[in-house]
Amino acid sequence: MSNLKTKELSKIGYTNDQARSLALNITSKHFKHQTKAELIAMFTSIKNDPQAWLQDAIVGKIAATFMDNEVECNFQTYTLLQQTGMLKIYGGKEIEPSAKKQMELAMSLPIVLQGALMPDAHTGYGLPIGGVLATDNAVIPFAVGVDIGCRMALTIVGERDSFFKSNGHRMKMALKELTHFGMEGGLEQQQQHEVLDHPDFKATEFLSRLQGKAARQLGSSGSGNHFVEFGSLELDEQNALGLDAGRYVALLSHSGSRGLGANIAQRYTRIAMDSCKLLREAQQLAWLDMNSEAGQEYWIGMNLAGAYAKACHNVIHANLLKALGLQPLALIENHHNFAWKEKLADGREVIVHRKGATPAHEAEWGIIPGSMTDAAYLVRGKGVANALNSASHGAGRAMSRQRAKENMTVSGLKQMLGSAGVTLIGGSVEENPLAYKDIGRVMASQTELVDIQGRFLPKIVRMNKE
C-alpha cells in the first residue's frame, strides 16, 4: 500500500483541500496496490491536463477541481468524505447532540474547507442554526436559510430612561399602528424606499415577478421570533461609539426579507437538490457551483434579499422615530442568515455561510438578543479565525415551539412579563423566555469571540400574535 501523504500531494500542486481530500479518499478506495511513484505520476498528470481525465469514472472528480470552467454535480451521487476538515465548537456543553451531528455531516462535504458551531446552536434544516461553513466556490441555499438576510438593527436615540415614564402609552400605540407582523400582508399605507428600484429586480424574470410582493411587504416583519421593541440600553464606560456611559432609550428590531427571501430560498434549494444528488441524510446540503448560471442567479437574489431586509428595518425605525419625535444618535445592524465572499487565515477565498450567526470580524459591531424578558448584547467582534470571524446570533432555542407551547400557559407568561417589567403586544407562549437558553451562559461561552459594549433590556415588545 502506498501510504500517500497530504504534504506529498501539496508538493505536486494539490494546494486545494478539496483536491487533496478527494485524492486521499479515492486512493484508499481504488488504488491500494499502486506504488507511491505510480500515484504521484498519475496525480501529476491529472493536475497538468485535467481535461484528459475529466470523464474518468474514478478520478474525474479530482480533475474537475483543476478546471477553471463550471463544474456541476448534475445527477451525480456524492459519497460523503470520511475526513471532516476543520471544525471548532464553542460552548459545546450547551449544544444538543443532533445539532453537532448535523454540523459534522456538513463538514464531510467535498466542497467544505472549514466550519464553526456557535454556543446558541440547535438543530435546523440542512445546516444547524448557529452553524458557520466555509466552502470552495459553492453556495448552499439551506446553509443560508429560508429567511435570507434575517438581521438585527439597533437605533440609540438621544433620550434617557425617564422618557418611558411620560411617553410609554405613545410608544405602545406607535408599535401597534406602525408595525405589521405575520406571513402575509403589510402596512396599511404602502411604503417607499430606493431598494424597490434596485436593478437586480430586473436581473431575472423570477425576481421581477417578486417586485410587487416586496413593495407590499416593505417595512413589515415576519412571525416566530421576529420582533420590534423599545428598551433601555446601558452603554459601558469604555464603549467604542464615543457616547457617554449610561442608559439610553433604544429601538431594536429583528426580522428578515419576508416573502422575497423565502421565494428565492425555496426556488434555488429545489434547483440545488435536483442538480446535486447527495445521500438522503445530506440532501438539504445540496450546493450550487458559483460558476453555474443557477449559482450566479442565487447569489444575485440572495444579495437583493439582504438589501431588502435592511430596507425593511430602515423603514420600521424611520416610521417609529418620526412618530415619537426621537433623534437617532447611532445605528448598529448586522445580518445573521447570509453568505459572504471572504478569505481564510491562509488567504484562500471562500464562501462563508452564517446560518444564525453574527459576523464578528475585528472591531465589527453586532447585536446578540436574548428573549422578550432577557438582555440583548451590543458587541464588537475580535476577529477569531477558528470561529470564521463569527459569534452567536442570540440565546438559541432550548425547546421546540411545540414543546414551549405545551410547557407554558398564557397566565404564566403574563406573570413572567410582569416580574420583568415588560409590556408585550401580540406574542405567543411559543416564544416565552423559558423556550430559550440562558443568554448569560451563551455570552460566557464566547468571550474570546466578542467584546460586550452594552446591554439592552426590553420594555415594550411587539411580536406576531400566533
d(CA 100, CA 129): 11
- Three-state secondary structure call for residue 237: coil
Residue pair 294/288 in contact (Cβ under 8 Å)? The answer is yes
Q: From first to last of its 466 residues, what are the pLDDT tens digits of the chain?
A: 467 888 888 888 887 767 887 888 888 888 888 888 888 889 999 988 888 888 888 988 898 888 754 445 544 556 676 666 789 999 999 899 999 999 999 999 999 999 999 999 999 988 999 999 999 999 999 999 999 999 999 999 999 888 999 999 999 999 999 999 988 888 888 899 999 999 999 999 999 999 999 999 999 999 999 999 999 999 988 889 999 999 999 999 999 999 999 999 999 999 999 988 888 889 999 999 999 999 999 999 999 999 999 999 999 999 999 999 999 999 999 999 999 999 999 999 999 999 999 999 999 999 999 999 999 999 999 999 999 999 999 999 999 889 999 999 999 999 999 999 999 999 999 999 999 999 999 999 999 999 999 999 999 999 998 6
How far is the CA of 362 from the CAs of 93, 205, 333, 393, in angstroms? 26, 39, 16, 17
CATH number at residue 393: 3.90.1860.10
Question: Looking at the structure, do residues 192 and 294 belong to the same domain, yes or no?
Answer: yes
Q: How many domains does the chain have?
A: 2
Q: Please tell me the total number of residues recorded for the chain in this structure.
A: 466
Question: Looking at the structure, do residues 61 and 156 belong to the same domain, yes or no?
Answer: no
Q: Please report the DSSP string for 103-165 in residue order.
A: HHHHHTSTTEEEEEEEEEEE--SSSPEEEEEEESSEE-HHHH-SSTT-EEEEEEEEEETTHHH
d(CA 13, CA 444): 43
Residue 93, in any domain of the structure: no
What is the sign, positive or negative, of the torsion defined by CA atoms of 123, 125, 130, 131?
Answer: positive
Cα atoms in the 13 Å half-sphere on the side-chain side of 198: 24
Task: Report which residue type is found at 75.
Answer: F
Q: What is the pTM of this model?
A: 0.83
Residue 313, in any domain of the structure: yes
Residue 81, in any domain of the structure: no
**Computed over its alpha carbons, how large is the radius of gyration of the chain?**
24
Cα 195 to its chain centre, rounded Å, is 21
Question: Looking at the structure, do residues 296 and 440 belong to the same domain, yes or no?
Answer: yes
- Angle at 408 (CA atoms; ends 220, 422), nearest 5 degrees: 55
Which of 67, 91, 119 lies at the terminal end of a domain, its last residue?
Answer: 67
Which of 67, 98, 118 lies at the terminal end of a domain, its last residue?
Answer: 67
Question: Looking at the structure, do residues 30 and 165 belong to the same domain, yes or no?
Answer: no
Which of 18, 42, 67 lies at the terminal end of a domain, its last residue?
Answer: 67
d(CA 146, CA 466): 19
d(CA 248, CA 236): 11
Residue-range definition of the domain harbouring residue 160: 151-463
Cell reading at 453: 459594549
Cell reading at 126: 440542512
333 beta partners: 153
423 beta partners: 460
- Three-state secondary structure call for residue 409: coil
Question: Looking at the structure, do residues 58 and 188 belong to the same domain, yes or no?
Answer: no
